Structure 1
Amino acid sequence: MNVLLDNIDLYARGFLGTIELFVVSAIGSLILGALLAAMRVSPVPILRAFGTVYVNILRNTPLTLVIFFFAFAYPRLEIADLSYFTRACIGLILYTAAFVCEVIRSGVNTVPVGQAEASRALGFTFTQTLSQVVLPQAVRNVVPPLANIQIALLKNTTIAAGFSVTEAGGIYQALSERGANVFVGLLWVAVGFLILVVPLTLLQRNLDRRWSTAR
């Protein structure tokens, strides 16, 4: 307990940074992932091709490399002066969105084709069919895998610690500088992540149970 109480300021700043990274990246990846999924099931060949190429590239690129690009290579492009936090969020969003896209697309494929055909017969456009008929049903089928992706995202935020972003993964460096017991300090970091992950897991189970009953 002494390691935790003596360095409570480090843990507070670190986990606050982790939560901020997670919330921004989770929302961004869900939005971008849904857009990419719409592209992948779109009747427009160019959109389907773009979505396919994006997903294949990002899913097969290590997250460390993606974050490395935004941390060190992006500034050389001289496009816009963004903070390390913003660049870390962009990297996490772009990477996670590829996995979100595939989960949503698999959920879309579980919706009977007759649903889309019936909506088109009623005069719905592709956008209306997707947003009002297909996606609401697909989301119910993909809650568990989506929750798992967001839990993985929460843990992936630790990679940002190597690129000057304050978050829980970098606490051990400050503990070492203060001469504290790093091993015990990392155990408290693990406990902190467990506290953050458990509510997500419980929410996933609750939604899955509720929607399974509705189905």
Structure 2
Amino acid sequence: MKRKHLFYSFIFIMVGFITLATSNPAHAETNNTESSTAESMQMAQPKKDKYVVASDSAFAPFEFQNTDGKYEGIDVELMKQISELQGFNIQMDYRGFSAALQALESGQADGMIAGMTVTDERKQSYDFSDTYFDSGIQLGVKQGDTSIKSYKDLKGKTVGAKVGTESAEFLSNHEEEYGYKIKYFDAADQLYDGLKVGAIDAIMDDYPVLGYAIKQGQKIDTPMPKESGGKYAFAVKKGENPELLTMFNEGLKELKRTGAYDKIIDKYVATSNESADSTKDESTIIGLIKNNYKPLLRGFWMTIVLALVSFALALVVGVIFGLFSASPIRVLRTIASIYVDVIRGIPMMVLAFFIFFGLPGIVGFTIPDFIAGVITLTLNASAYIAEIVRGGINAVPVGQMEASRSLGLSYNRTMQKIILPQAIRIMLPSFVNQFVISLKDTTIISAIGVVELLQAGKIIVARTTQSTYVYLIIAVMYLILITALTKLAKVLEKKVK
């Protein structure tokens, strides 16, 4: 009996120790922390199998194509790591800043990340995440220039800035105070080239963009600390996809907690005047071609395909409306006249935006950017081809039609056998000229996200900052193609005659 009593006492003591151990404050706090973390990580669950995230196509260091043709940058890596942490799938859609905004507005994208500054005006249309980057503006001078150490040293000098930017506004507000002149540029590559060739004495740009340029080997010093600026955030359309916004915020917090966020920023933005080591030389034409010939050839091929497909369709549509405009039936002439006037009266970029962004809201489904580009080019070229056909038919002497009809041939037979064969000889040079115009017009289609030759060049410039050489290469490629087409047209013209 005594042994049994001792056994129960031992069991009671052991249970007491276990209870004390499990009620340890530190252990409880750890459990509570883990539970809290787990709950916070599970606050939002994806409601879609895949979220489409729109982005810019050439805004280094936030998103740009590397030499392998793959996108990388601060925004790209943030979205990738956050989606992996939070367990949702994304499809990145790189189409340019304005096109990305339109995609988000029209519902073609669920979210947008493109170095987008949070403003009160944008808050009316979009819901923003926690800010993931505090931007700012900074002054840059040629490397080794010690004459500029403060804003007062800019007196009598010329400072460059991009039109409509925070840098331009800052410089304008202090122009009279410090006595410098401002030279405005449309694009970043023009700004940096201006400093390189000595057209300006200093530049002011967003500090991450300036830091990336330094990282890429641009010979620039930053003699003064940056000025505080806007804040970048992830955005969704107002009232839509709240779970996506929550998942982004939670993932961003985790990246900052673990230090992964700082590693991403340091990878792309130089915090001092040190350039990154690179085994790929892109400072020469040979180096640029060697490292970027694949994306250039892809863009070149896309330009050719766009031009050929759209022009073939435009020929069919244009010839039909051209015959309508030369028809003796008044209704057909009226229809052709309205078609030509409407299409020619709408700027091609507006037409492209309507077809790609506006039309899906009417028809109820998304139109791929390539198809939208083909439709735009087809409609635009067909209106001019219709006028070429009408002019060619009218150039054939009227007596030809009258003589044929007097011999008993029908109108259609006369057009087929007598009028059109003569008109085609007249129209052929104009057709070739219109094809060359359509080839050049493909550059406008890049506005809706189609990466043709010029857009491919812009993407390369955004990464390398070598605008002079890149645009020279593109100009030569266009020159070779158009010269070959012109020679071919002359051969065809001789054979037809």
State the TM-score, normalized to the length of structure 2: 0.41
- Structure 2 partner of 1:30: 315
Give the one of 404, 426, 429 matched to 1:141. Answer: 426
Corresponding residue pairs, total: 212
1:29 maps to amino acid = A
- Structure 2 partner of 1:159: 444
1:204 maps to amino acid = A
d(CA) in 2 for partners of 1:79, 1:92: 22
**CA offsets 1:82-136 (integer angstroms, 9 cap, x no match):** 3111111111111111111111111111112222223334443333322332111
Structure 1 stretches (4+) deviating beyond 6 angstroms? none
1:199 equivalent to 2:484? Answer yes
- Structure 2 partner of 1:168: 453
d(CA) in 2 for partners of 1:124, 1:87: 43
1:186 equivalent to 2:478? Answer no
Give the one of 80, 102, 110 matched to 2:387. Answer: 102
- Structure 1 partner of 2:396: 111
d(CA) in 2 for partners of 1:180, 1:125: 65
2:385 maps to amino acid = V
d(CA) in 2 for partners of 1:167, 1:99: 23
Q: RMSD across aligned C-alpha pairs, in angstroms?
A: 1.7
Answer with 58-67 or 11-20: which moved more. 58-67
Structure 2: gaps spanning 5 or more residues? 1-285
d(CA) in 1 for partners of 2:433, 2:391: 15
- Structure 1 partner of 2:330: 45
Give SS of 2:328's match: coil
- Structure 2 partner of 1:57: 342
Task: Tell me, yes or no, if the aligned pair for 2:326 and 2:394 is still in contact at 8 Å.
Answer: no
**CA offsets 1:3-37 (integer angstroms, 9 cap, x no match):** 11211111111011111101101111111111111
- Structure 2 partner of 1:3: 288
Task: Tell me, yes or no, if the aligned pair for 1:159 and 1:169 is still in contact at 8 Å.
Answer: no
Task: Tell me, yes or no, if the aligned pair for 1:40 and 1:105 is still in contact at 8 Å.
Answer: yes
Task: Tell me, yes or no, if the aligned pair for 1:3 and 1:180 is still in contact at 8 Å.
Answer: no
Answer with 162-171 or 122-131: which moved more. 122-131
Identity %: 33
1:87 equivalent to 2:372? Answer yes
- Rg larger in structure: 2
2:384 maps to amino acid = F
**CA offsets 1:145-190 (integer angstroms, 9 cap, x no match):** 2211110110000111111112112113321343251321111111
After superposition, the Cα gap between the structure-2 partners of 1:109 and 1:159, relative to the gap in structure 1 and judged at 3 Å, is same
